């Protein structure tokens, strides 16, 4: 896990290349490597995870006369199995790293090697003989990669935009994205970025680059890899298959030569991860699996509605391990807030403070890898507003009751509520819910964006819920969250691994119908029923959901009141051209002075202020 910089077909002063690479120091605090030959520059900042010796340093070379060089950010979790196959084919290895396995795999199978990898990655392989580069990004874009095509010729690639900015003649905001909160979760899956002139290398894609230019092509499409025809017909069989896949995904991600832990919320997803890890410690014979996993870090928000520490403690008590509670105190972070905005790079709806502090505490305690539960909601239907889409699939009263019970806590499982028994009342109730959800979304984003149709036979065969979940997991919410958590963690030199993002599980999730995902009147029912044997029952079947977020209203009214008041009255704020200072100030002060301000009000105020904070720390930042 690292930060990479590649400049192809353009001679670059070493001092400039070093300056660009140093912008990624936080991603790789354990070492630095810079290699140049002709018009090629390959730079690497290392976070040592597998083979922490110098044998794992990059740029790394392989082949006769060191023909191939690689810079790589990520992890190939099944590298041991691939390496063993390559050894049987006559390959040898100097290191115990996955980086060398990628190089040998590329030599043996060329771009087909990507199909064998189970992991997250962004890498560039330079062929010194043929003078061309091969570039790839993982299936779902867990690891970032950006690029520019300067007017002077050549291409430059990097893990973060800040490393490319010194190569641009002018730094300008992409106002269409930065100034429109409605687009906040809709641009990460595109090539468009917040800085003009910088493009995002697409997820699930690879490219060949030589003197004639770059040729990008998509090598992965989840819709081409669904397993609908191979799924067990019965629900119990599907639960068993998911359990087997999930445990194996966790096992592979426990392969590490440094300490691993979990960012534990007390919700279903992160609890399922750490409880599966505990089960694997006694049941798995994987020698490379790190048994030092008993490090649970819990963000606490005392006195706010965001605090879930009581649930997290139930999990750690069940496992017999210690919970490290990290109190999120914004006053301790506000002096470093500008730096957090800079490290985050993009625009978002809320503050990065809680997440940055949590992963910072984790790193300070000596934990470098965390295995977390991201992706489950978007893949298996964990958001409460998903029920409106699932209702379109329900063709009977029994199915309708199942959907309602899964998402609305007040409805008992036996369906005894009168509203469920009365079709007319149910219809009135559902219309009310639909209107309220739509109003909430409109308040949050300003408008509802109409997505482009997905022209794929497999997509057209999906039920309504899965169509929405496919978009959530591949086009908007999840790609944005994957980017966010890469930044939160790597700002602190921490690697996040995500078992739910194992490609086998993504394909499974997109193949399972809505009735299996809501079985028994529970959202994400397959996860619950599969991992319940290893978890406290009260956590496995807990319906309430808070989520890891910022208590923005409480902070704006309380500990950060002075900060926000001073900000909206500053001369810099009043001169910012990316916002309407008057209306933004009214929104911020409206939250501060209004006792009845809601979370949506706070989120809207903060997201409207964010362009100013972003410009201050990305565009106007002093060298």
Q: Specify the pLDDT at position 404.
A: 86
Please give the mean pLDDT across all residues of the chain: 91
Band of pLDDT at residue 152, cut at 50, 70 and 90: low
Q: Specify the pLDDT at position 241.
A: 98
Tens of pLDDT along 290-334?
999 999 999 998 877 777 889 999 999 999 999 999 999 999 999
Q: Specify the pLDDT at position 450.
A: 52
Q: What is the DSSP letter of 202?
A: P
> Any idea which residue has 């309380």 for tokens?
558
Q: Specify the pLDDT at position 441.
A: 41
> How large is the average pLDDT for residues 279-299?
91
Q: Specify the pLDDT at position 305.
A: 72
Closest CA to 267 of 529, 541, 549: 541
Is 416's pLDDT higher than 50?
no
Say which residue, 546 or 560, is predicted with more confidence.
Answer: 560
Beta bridge partners of 37: 40
CATH number attached to the domain at 2-220: 3.60.20.10
Q: Return the percentage of the chain with pLDDT > 70, whole number.
A: 92
> How large is the average pLDDT for residues 425-430?
42
Q: What is the dihedral of CA 536, 538, 540, 541, to 10 degrees?
A: 160
Domain ranges of the chain: 2-220, 229-378+486-540, 552-619
Q: Specify the pLDDT at position 505.
A: 98
Q: How far apart are CA 161 and CA 550, in angstroms?
A: 25
Is 434's pLDDT higher than 80?
no
- Alpha-carbon distances, residue 346 vs 357, 462, 551 (angstroms): 18, 33, 20
Q: Return the percentage of the chain with pLDDT > 90, whole number.
A: 80
Band of pLDDT at residue 446, cut at 50, 70 and 90: very low
Backbone angles phi, psi at 374, to 5 degrees: -65, 140
> How large is the average pLDDT for residues 74-89?
98
> Any idea which residue has 């290191």 for tokens?
95
Q: What is the DSSP letter of 1?
A: -
Reading the block at residue 155, the tokens are 């291409």
Q: Specify the pLDDT at position 543.
A: 85
Closest CA to 237 of 519, 537, 502, 534: 519
Q: Specify the pLDDT at position 483.
A: 98
Q: How far apart are CA 476 and CA 448, in angstroms?
A: 12
User: Cα 31 to the chain's mean position, in Å?
Assistant: 25
Q: Residue 56: count other Cβ atoms within 10 Å of its Cβ.
A: 22
User: What is the Cα Rg of the chain in Å?
Assistant: 24
Topology (CATH level 3) of domain 229-378+486-540: Rossmann fold (3.40.50)
First to last CA, the chain: 26
Tens of pLDDT along 477-526?
999 999 999 999 999 999 999 999 999 999 999 999 999 999 999 999 99
Q: How far apart are CA 298 and CA 309, in angstroms?
A: 7
Q: Are 191 and 199 in contact (CB under 8 A)?
A: yes
Q: Specify the pLDDT at position 478.
A: 97
Q: Provide the sign of the torsion angle of the four alpha carbons 611, 613, 616, 622, taken in this order.
A: negative
Is 345's pLDDT higher than 90?
yes
Is 231's pLDDT higher than 60?
yes
């Amino acid at each position: 896990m690292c930060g990479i910089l590649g400049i192809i077909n353009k001679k670059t002063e070493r001092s400039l290349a070093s300056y660009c690479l140093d912008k990624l120091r936080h991603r790789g605090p354990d070492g630095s490597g810079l290699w140049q030959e002709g018009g090629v520059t390959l730079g690497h900042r290392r976070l040592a995870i597998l083979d922490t010796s110098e044998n794992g340093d990059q740029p790394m070379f392989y082949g006769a006369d060191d023909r191939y060089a690689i810079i790589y950010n990520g992890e190939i979790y099944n590298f041991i199995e691939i390496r063993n196959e390559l050894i049987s084919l006559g390959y040898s290895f100097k290191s115990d790293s996955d980086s060398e396995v990628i190089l040998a795999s590329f030599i043996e199978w060329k771009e087909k090697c990507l199909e064998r990898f189970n992991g997250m990655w962004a890498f560039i392989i330079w062929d010194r003989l043929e003078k061309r580069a091969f570039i790839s990004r993982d299936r779902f874009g867990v690891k970032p990669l950006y690029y520019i095509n300067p007017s002077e010729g050549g291409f430059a690639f990097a893990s973060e935009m800040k490393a490319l900015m010194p190569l641009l003649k002018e730094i300008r905001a992409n106002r269409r994205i930065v100034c429109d909160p409605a687009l906040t979760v809709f641009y990460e899956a595109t090539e468009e970025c917040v800085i003009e002139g910088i493009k995002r290398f697409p997820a699930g894609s690879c490219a060949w680059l030589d003197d004639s230019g770059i040729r990008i092509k998509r090598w992965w499409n989840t819709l081409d890899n669904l397993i609908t025809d191979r799924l067990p017909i019965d629900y119990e069989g599907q639960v068993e298959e998911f359990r087997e896949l999930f445990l194996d995904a966790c096992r592979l991600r426990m392969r590490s030569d440094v300490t691993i832990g979990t960012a534990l919320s007390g919700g279903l997803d992160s609890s399922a991860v750490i409880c599966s890890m505990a089960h694997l410690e006694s049941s798995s014979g994987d020698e490379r699996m790190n048994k030092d996993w008993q490090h649970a870090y819990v963000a606490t928000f005392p006195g706010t509605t965001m605090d879930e520490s009581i649930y997290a403690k139930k999990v750690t008590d069940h496992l017999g391990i210690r919970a490290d509670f990290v109190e999120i105190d914004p006053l301790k972070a506000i002096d470093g807030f500008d730096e957090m905005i800079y490290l985050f790079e993009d625009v978002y709806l809320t503050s990065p403070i809680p997440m940055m502090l949590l992963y910072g505490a984790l790193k300070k305690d000596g934990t470098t890898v965390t295995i977390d539960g991201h992706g489950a909601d978007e893949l298996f239907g964990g958001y409460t507003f998903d029920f409106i889409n699932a209702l379109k699939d329900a063709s009977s009263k029994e199915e309708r009751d199942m959907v309602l019970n899964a998402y609305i806590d007040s409805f008992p499982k036996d369906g005894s509520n009168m509203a469920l028994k009365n079709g007319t009342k149910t219809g009135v109730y559902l219309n009310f819910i639909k209107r309220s959800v739509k109003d909430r979304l409109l308040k949050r984003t300003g408008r509802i964006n109409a997505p482009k149709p997905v022209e794929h036979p497999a997509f057209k065969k999906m039920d309504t819920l899965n169509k929405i979940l496919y978009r959530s997991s591949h086009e908007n919410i999840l790609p944005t969250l994957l980017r966010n958590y890469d930044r939160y963690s790597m700002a602190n030199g921490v690697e996040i691994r995500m078992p739910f993002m194992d490609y086998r599980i993504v394909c499974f999730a997109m193949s399972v119908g809505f009735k299996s995902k809501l079985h028994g009147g529970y959202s994400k029912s397959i996860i619950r029923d599969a991992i319940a044997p290893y978890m406290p029952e009260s956590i496995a079947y807990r319906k309430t959901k808070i989520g890891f977020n910022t208590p923005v209203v409480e902070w704006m009214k309380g500990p950060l009141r002075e900060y926000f008041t001073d900000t909206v009255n500053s001369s810099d704020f009043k001169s910012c051209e990316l916002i309407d200072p008057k209306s933004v100030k009214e929104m911020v002060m409206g939250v501060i002075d209004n006792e009845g301000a809601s979370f949506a009000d706070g989120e809207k105020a903060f997201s409207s202020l964010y362009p100013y904070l972003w410009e201050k720390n990305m565009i106007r930042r002093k060298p």
